[in-house]
Amino acid sequence: MRLDVEGCAHLLHVSTGEVRDWIRRKEFAEPNGMAAGQPFWSERRVLRWLVRGDPAGGERVPIEYWPPAPQPAPYLGAETVHQVGVGLRWRTPQGVVYLFFHHQEWEHGTLELAQHRLAGQAAAIVKVDPDYSHDGPSLSAICPAAPQRVYWPSWTQLSQVLGGPIPFWPAGVRTADLITRWRPEAAPLVVPACPAVDVVPALRLAVAVEPGFIRDTLINMVQIIQQQATDAALLDLEMFQQRAEPRTYIIAAEPMATLSADRDDIPESQRRATWLELLSRSDTLTGQCVRLARRWDGGKDLPAPEVLRVDPEAPAAREWTARLVPCRRTAMFEMVDPEQEAAATLLDPLTDAPAARVGERIHAAIPHRLTTSAPLAEIILEEPIWVRTSDGVIFPAPRHPGFGIGWGNIGRGATALALLIHQLLHDITTVPQPPAGAPSGLLALTARPWPTGTVLTREQLQQALDTPREDI
């Protein structure tokens, strides 16, 4: 962008007359060129001129325009900024630079909040973001004296401003304690990666139960979670080292090796038996483990992993609601009422799945398969979708964890429903699969904008399955 004299004055927050005086005394930046007989400047040239002539003016200038430091900037230690995080601090000729690392212990702090907290203390505030740019982690920054200007310097530019390498902690080993204790002369630490979920409840429960399948299943879950955290930290470290120039960084910490573990180390039948046993317990520690399982992988091994909000006044839902019975609260209700807001805790006696009346809705856990041997009779298109079997019993339609089912357009929901129908026509106890490879005739049927409450009979479903898509 070309700046005339007035534009330069606006950029520098001074009067036009002051800029003209600098030009007349030959104290101002050399113009980039002439246009219509008048000089013009680039923003980059003007800002570089400002910082070279007045280092203290750096607080109004993005650090990408600051001159490289001739020697390493003195490190001032770390400072904890309320609701932002731990900031590393360096003193440069332009002022103090604060560097914050994105990590899971933060309270979702923002640059704007940091600018407010550090008014008058920082010349530049920089945040290391979770993604990557061409030469290292992506950075976002703000000028404390010009808070409207959020900008994005490069990792290399920050290293040049600080006059040396910057410490780096890969995701998973970025804790407030480690960042606070770092010193430039410190050797890299080898530390266990921090899982994204709190595994302590599972460990406490594992040592509280008798040796056996429950303990083995819980320990296996913790080992897998820890291995996933370690793998994620190693991957982040690898990505960083592939992009950043070696002279621009110091590895402050790296993840400790952990034992490899896999879900299949424990048979599926044993995993499911573990959770059936645990869900019947009423202690709070087991409830915490249920929440842990749901946060980790959606509760894949729980007997009813999906939770839906049901309007009990809808026609099909009313029929299902009528068979629910009161039930004392156990760990299984952590799935449907983790905040303990329910006016009533209920049980579906045909599936043993929990339900909770919260306000005007019923929160229902949906089993991963139908507990019946009666063949499919019809599909009822309500919210949620229902399955009726040949003996007249109605069930919430099962679904694959992470994939909803629906109708009305050719999307993932209609695909998932078409595939589920195909499976249920052949095996009523099927476990839903990810939505891929649905028969075209059924997909054409589920993609139609049917009115809510439409009933699709087994004959209609079978005909759609047997009919080419273009004929539906």
What is the tens place of the pLDDT at every residue in 233-282? 999 999 999 999 999 999 999 999 998 999 999 999 999 999 999 999 99
Between 246 and 51, where is the model more confident?
Answer: 246
**Structure confidence at residue 157 as a pLDDT band (50, 70, 90):** very high
The predicted structure's pLDDT at residue 232: 94
6-16 average pLDDT score: 85
Burial class (CB in 10 A: 0-12, 13-18, 19+), 408: middle
What is the tens place of the pLDDT at every residue in 90-105? 999 888 999 998 765 4
pLDDT > 90 fraction of the chain, expressed in percent and rounded: 66
Cα–Cα distance for residue pair 172/117, rounded to 1 Å: 27
Cα–Cα distance for residue pair 337/446, rounded to 1 Å: 32
* Mean pLDDT, the chain, whole residue set: 90
Cα–Cα distance for residue pair 252/182, rounded to 1 Å: 8
Determine which helix (DSSP H) or strand (DSSP E) holds 162, and give its type and residue range: helix 155-162
DSSP 186: P
The predicted structure's pLDDT at residue 48: 82
DSSP 408: S
The predicted structure's pLDDT at residue 472: 40
* Residues 97 and 162: beta-carbon distance below 8 Å: yes
**Structure confidence at residue 468 as a pLDDT band (50, 70, 90):** low
Cα–Cα distance for residue pair 291/296, rounded to 1 Å: 9
The predicted structure's pLDDT at residue 183: 94
16-30 average pLDDT score: 88
The predicted structure's pLDDT at residue 251: 96
Task: Choose among 388, 319, 377: nearest CA to 348.
Answer: 319
pLDDT > 70 fraction of the chain, expressed in percent and rounded: 96
Between 234 and 113, where is the model more confident?
Answer: 234
Going from N- to C-terminal start, the domains of the chain cover: 2-53, 75-164, 268-366, 376-471
Between 243 and 59, where is the model more confident?
Answer: 243
Instruction: Name residue 10's amino acid.
Output: H
172-180 average pLDDT score: 91
The predicted structure's pLDDT at residue 103: 61
Task: Choose among 79, 73, 69, 88: nearest CA to 128.
Answer: 88
